[in-house]
Amino acid sequence: MTSPKPKSSTQNLKKSIPAPARRKPAFRSAYTKAELEEIFRRFSIQRPEPKGELEHVNPFTLVVAVALSAQATDAGVNKATRALFKVADTPQKMLELGEEKVRDYIKTIGLYRNKAKNVIALSRMLVDDFGGEVPKTREELVRLPGVGRKTANVVMSMAFGIPTIAVDTHIFRIGNRIRLAPGKTPDEVEEKLEKVIPKHYLYHAHHWLILHGRYCCKARRPECERCVIADICKSPEKSCDVPAPLVELPPQMIGAAD
């Protein structure tokens, strides 16, 4: 019986060296730089000053409104918060109101019991840890109960003028549907959007994309005949290649139904 041939030092060395980690392929947009510039140029003409549709009077009420808007429409949140914010527009006033009364104000909103708890908890943290002021950084904002990355990005943009992309259901859908920033998670879509959106359009891009998804590129059926970027759009779902007339839309009716 022959003894097994000893392995060479080269073979042993090969086994000891781990295989190199696979690099994540760099993201390449489906659109050219010129096409991206034109998409957002058209959005800027259509809606020169886009606005978020959640009613608020200061950064605190904005945090509360955005936190309440999870799995709810902006219109539904606005109906509930109009009366609430008249009596509690600061963290201290919200604490004095108490969880039970907060529940009474927001009971028409989905998951209102848990949301009322979060509103009181975030108000407590703002008073105890931040001197009653809403922080400006994402790292601090996401510490607040009921505040995730999307809510933090909305607050940073709308309350403090910091350009961010908050990926809600509309932006997630559009990012994938029109191949602008395809991704499996909101964070992945956010990361890609920040790479492809021309920097000088980044501040308003969040609202342009949300409003485009809410009123034109709708979930059930995109209304391509009303789309100002129909000729540029690379969605396999699109039904029209002729862009709608590029005109400025009437001022937004904040609080209108979704």
Whole-angstrom Cα distance, residue 55 to residue 64? 10
Domains and CATH numbers, the chain: 33-51+164-226 (1.10.1670.10), 59-160 (1.10.340.30)
Helix or strand holding residue 97 (H, E): helix 91-97
Q: Which residue has the higher pLDDT, 75 or 6?
A: 75
| Residue 134 · residue 63 · CB < 8 Å | yes
Give bridge partners of residue 222 from the DSSP assignment.
Answer: 217
- Rounded mean pLDDT of the chain? 90
pLDDT confidence tier of residue 4, bands split at 50, 70 and 90: low
User: Is the pLDDT assigned to residue 25 strictly greater than 90?
Assistant: no
Please state which of the ranges 13-17, 66-70, 130-134 shows the lowest mean pLDDT: 13-17
Supply the pLDDT for residue 257. Answer: 41
Q: What is the pLDDT of residues 49-96, one digit of tens each?
A: 998 889 999 999 999 999 999 888 899 999 999 999 999 999 999 999
Q: What is the pLDDT of residues 197-231, one digit of tens each?
A: 999 999 999 999 999 999 999 999 999 999 999 99
Predicted model pTM = 0.81
Angle between helices 74-87 and 59-68 (to 10 degrees): 140
Of 117, 60, 116, give the one whose Cα is nearest residue 91: 60
Supply the pLDDT for residue 255. Answer: 45
pLDDT confidence tier of residue 242, bands split at 50, 70 and 90: very high
Q: Region 156-184: what's the mean pLDDT? A: 95
- Which are the catalytic amino acids? 150, 168
Query: What are the counts of helices (DSSP H) followed by strands (DSSP E) for the chain?
Result: 12, 0
Please name the residues in contact with 174: beta carbons below 8 A apart, sequence gap of 6 or more.
Answer: 180, 209, 212, 213, 217
Please state which of the ranges 8-17, 39-48, 85-94, 203-212 shows the lowest mean pLDDT: 8-17
